[in-house]
Amino acid sequence: MNDLVSMKQLSESEILALLDRAQNFETYGARELPKKYTVSNLFFEPSTRTKTSFEVAERKLGLDVVPFESGLSSTIKGETLYDTVKTLESIGVDALVIRHPDVGYYNQLIGKTNISIINGGDGSGQHPTQSLLDLYTIREEFGSFEGLNIVIAGDIAHSRVARSNADALTRLGANVTFLCPTEWCGEFNAVHEWDENLLNSDVIMLLRVQHERHNEKSIFTKESYHNQYGLTLERAKRMKENAIILHPAPFNRGVEIDENLIECSKSRIFKQMENGVYVRMAVLELILNGRN
């Protein structure tokens, strides 16, 4: 595998192999790769979690990380993404992690350069390492995916996470239900209100309300969204004993989730972030060792 741009590339057994490898990193710690590879992180959208998570994973694997500041690069002289990537390939960068606002930006790159691309999020498209860390966190909790009931609640249409997770979780045997306002369903089937059945799920995964992607004046106030679609304290009390709460973060406290639930005993939100480093090490290792 030369690139990872979408969960759709990965078979079930490939997904499980990546999760196993990530588990190995969690259990035994990281080891530097046998060769000194050079990578760079191209983030054309703001990010704390994904970028720093990759930066940590890269250092733990002993990689050389070449800084790239999108605001200071030649893209502001009008250089195309393709030309920037060809440039980085020419100067000896082996792999790029790219976040870019355009859905499918990688189609202009894959197969046209010899540099490996890891998709760190393409607009409302895919975000495969986020999906892998969600899967990792779920499997760590329940041991397998078979028969698990999972709710993904929120801004489905604009969410890379929903898109990446929907397919993978279903293929691995889980039952996924989407919950969202009618206006935010996109091409997905969804239910539009919480009921006992949903609250009885094994995993409740909340998505961030992406204020920055809604340019119309929002149809919801924070309070009305929270009351209708958010995980309120009252709803959380009706969850199953062993159920867990996931959120890709950053979260809007009091909107998609009650502030007091973020670090509650059911929440795995910060464990997800920790797990992100392990799965990103697994992905980087797989792709870079595959270049030999």
* Residues at the contact surface with its own copies, assessed by CB under 8 A: 38, 40, 43, 46-49, 51-53, 55-56, 59-60, 64, 66-80, 83-84, 86-93, 211-212, 249-253, 270-271, 273-274, 276-277
Q: In the bound complex, what is the minimum distance in angstroms from residue 141's beta carbon to its own copies? A: 16
Nearest residue (CB) to its own copies, 86 versus 235: 86
DSSP for the chain, please give it: ---B--GGG--HHHHHHHHHHHHHHHHH-----SS--EEEEEESS--SHHHHHHHHHHHHTT-EEE---GGGSGGGGT--HHHHHHHHHHTT--EEEEEESSTTGGGGTTTTSSSEEEEEEETTS--HHHHHHHHHHHHHHHS--TT-EEEEES-GGG-HHHHHHHHHHHHTT-EEEEE--GGG-TTS--B-S--HHHHT-SEEEE----GGG--SPPSS-HHHHHHHHSB-HHHHHTS-TT-EEE--S---BTTTB-GGGTTSTTB-HHHHHHHHHHHHHHHHHHHHHTT-
Q: How far is the CB of 270 from its own copies (least distance, A)?
A: 4
Q: Which is nearer to its own copies, 12 or 274 (CB)?
A: 274
| CB 85, min distance to its own copies, A | 10
**Closer Cβ to its own copies, 87 or 232, answer by number:** 87
Closest to its own copies by CB, 91 vs 264, is 91
Minimum separation from the CB atom of position 142 to its own copies (A): 21
Taking the least distance from each CB to its own copies, the nearer of 230 and 276 is: 276
Quick one: 174 or 255, whose CB is closer to its own copies? 255
Burial environment of residue 108 by CB neighbours within 10 A (0 to 12, 13 to 18, 19 or more):
middle
Q: How far is the CB of 13 from its own copies (least distance, A)?
A: 28
- Shortest Cβ 12–its own copies spacing (Å): 27
d(CA 257, CA 226): 7
Tell me how far, at minimum, the Cβ of 177 lies from its own copies, in Å. Answer: 27
For its own copies, the closer CB: 133 or 153: 133
